[in-house]
Chain A
Amino acid sequence: MFQNLRLTMAWLHTWFGLVLGFVLMVVFFFGALSVFDREIDRWAIPETRFEPQPMPSFDKVLRPVFESMQPDPGQIELARSRVDGPMATHFPVAKTWGAYTTHRDPVLGVFAGFELPNAKDPDDIIWGTRTIDPRTGKTLPDDQLKIGSQFFYPLHYSLNINWRELGTWIVGFAALVMLVALVSGVIVHRKLFRELFTFRPGKNTQRSVLDLHNLTGVVALPFHFVFAFSGLLIFGGTYFPIGHTQLKPLHDLHEVLESQETGLPHERAGVPGRLASVDAMMAEAQRRWQARGMAGEVGFLTVRHVGDANAYVSIYRAGTDRIALTGEGIHFNAATGEVMREDPPPTVAQHINTFLTGLHLQHFRHWTLRWLYLMGGLLGCVCIATGFLFFVEKRKRQHAAQGLRGARWVDGFAVSAVTGMLVAALAMLVANRLLPADLPGRGDWEQYAFWAAWALALAHGLWRTAPVAQARIAPAWAEQCLAVAVLAVAAVLLNWVTTGDHLGRTLAAGYWPVAGVDLFLLGAAAMAFLAARALRRRSGVPSASAAANAPSRSEAARA
């Protein structure tokens, strides 16, 4: 595009990085929080603050729950456009029952997929979900939002914009641009190895911000690249639904062949069938894994063609001690409990796939690696945020001199995307503690609190970055940092007041999910407070700091 490659790559990195950076900020931050999504759930739903439980008895606990399930009302609404004629009120045929648990789950999520009467697509399924206490089989109310796994986590891969999966597409495009930004960044950064450890906080703002941007981008370069790439791979079927469109005939051929090869029926027989003891099947599965030298817990189980003579039960081992999510599947005839098939060892392609997806989805037990992942995600956030700051710093004097307002608006949106996002997340946690416990639709109110707080932060951010148009530091940053500090401390105090689980108690009991969240909040508050103080000091004496930073240009702008 330009005279040389480096100029073109710099242009590409700057402009695509700037625009998609706002989306990537959300993806990286809430992705980082999602490493501890289940722990955040424990903090948000005090009734679930007990120890993680293994998969409970199917026959005594899960079967009654499954038999009483129906599709979620929200799913029924979404499915209205997928039926010809009236929407059914009862869904008698369950295609699938499933339960999934990890070493971090006290409560168990179960799901059931039902045939959709009058569906346009005969293979269409409509889903219902429940959360139960595995010790008793009691269902938890729907109103309790799992802020970690049901809000922060989907926010990071779909922005919670579910209309025709638009949010997932936006995040996918942002991930592609992230990869482009990483490659173009490496091409532009000539002294990548020589400046690997270079960070000069004492120099002018533009230089130290760029140093930090390069540092956080390069030291975690494999992390940033592999996470963006593996995220795209996980949703590959959404972005390139080739097997369900152009190559559907080939896909259907494969399903028939696979069904013949594995002996697992692809269709219902249309004849009712009984369900034998699934607990006995789970015990048999665990015995077989042990015999192979891979003793383990049941991580995932499904029942297919529920209630039919062709029904089969699939039991998978939890991948707690390795990168793959689950594996070593064993399939049982539902009526007789006989083993129909043991999954063969994974192919090379399956190994690559489970490694990349398992690396991203992290269901393994390794607390050190989890904390390192959190660090990686936050480094990504710092990289993006310093990118914004560098963009503004580089241009604000020039724009002030020319009466342009570009830098001023970018700074406004940047503060909303960085500190504003933190304010929104914290406001949600505070609302979670303040709202009445029995408020109907409590989860919805918590979400409104999140978006409303962000909107307020946006308005504040846009208003209080006006000084950037005169090449000064915006007070918005320090003010929002202070808000972050106050909200974070408030959240910890409210947890104490409303649940009694203060740090003294949770640390003494060793209940790390809640103690960890409280400690992280306090750490964040401390950093935000120090940042606010440092920013206030920097902008408090304009002429002195300007002389230290860039003497001739800023004074000319002010004249």
Chain B
Amino acid sequence: MAAPPVSRLNIAVRIGAAVLGGYAFTWGFIALSVALLFAARMEFHDAETLATIVGLLLFVAAFLWAFAARSVAIVWTVLAGGGALMAGAATLVQRALT
């Protein structure tokens, strides 16, 4: 790979999507899953465990997708946007319960 046809900027944006976007998506997923599972009467730490297991696998998938996808804009939208939406929903569920 002496001279990749991809620009440095594109690579940087993809790395950002993978790391930051992936993290945001995973945080939102875990938060919402814990809130919903707890609302469904699962024990809090059990909910955290299950949500973290699935969340970590999603993080790996998101990371790979950030590079495999054709459009990095779509990746950023889904990961960061999706993460924010899920986190927001988690707080709403929490407000309803406490």
Contacts and interface: CB of A to CB of B under 8 A. Distances in A.
Interface of A: 1-2, 5, 8-12, 14, 173, 176, 179-180, 183-184, 229, 232-233, 236-237, 240, 242-243, 246-247, 249-251, 253-254, 258, 347, 349-350, 352-353, 356, 398
B7 to A, nearest CB: 11
Interface of B: 1-2, 4-6, 10-11, 14, 19, 26-27, 30-31, 34-35, 38, 42-50, 52-53, 55-56, 59-60, 63-64, 67-68, 87, 90-91, 94, 97-98
Nearest to A254: B44
A250 B6 contact: no
Contacts, number: 103
Contacts of B52: 233, 236, 240
A246 B50 contact: no
Contacts of A176: 56, 59-60, 63
A349 B14 contact: no
Given A176-B63, A180-B64, A243 B48 contact: yes
Given A8-B67, A180-B64, A250 B38 contact: yes
Nearest to B50: A349
Contacts of B6: 1-2
7 contacts: A9-B64, A12-B67, A184-B64, A242-B48, A246-B90, A247-B31, A398-B2
B49 A349 contact: yes
B94 A11 contact: no
B46 A242 contact: no
Contacts of B30: 240, 242
B91 to A, nearest CB: 7
Contacts of B97: 250, 253
Given A242-B34, A249-B98, A398-B2, 6 more contacts: A9-B64, A11-B67, A183-B60, A237-B48, A240-B26, A250-B44
Nearest to A3: B5
Given A250-B35, A250-B94, A8 B68 contact: yes
A253 B35 CA distance: 12
> Shortest 3 CB-CB distances between A and B: which pairs?
A349-B46, A254-B44, A236-B52
Given A11-B4, A246-B87, A247-B94, A240 B55 contact: yes
A398 B4 CA distance: 16
A185 to B, nearest CB: 12
A254 B38 contact: yes
B19 to A, nearest CB: 8
B53 A233 contact: yes
Nearest to A236: B52
A229 B57 CA distance: 9
Given A240-B55, A254-B38, A247 B90 contact: yes
Instruction: Indicate the member of B5, B19, B46 with the most A CB atoms within 10 Å.
Output: B46
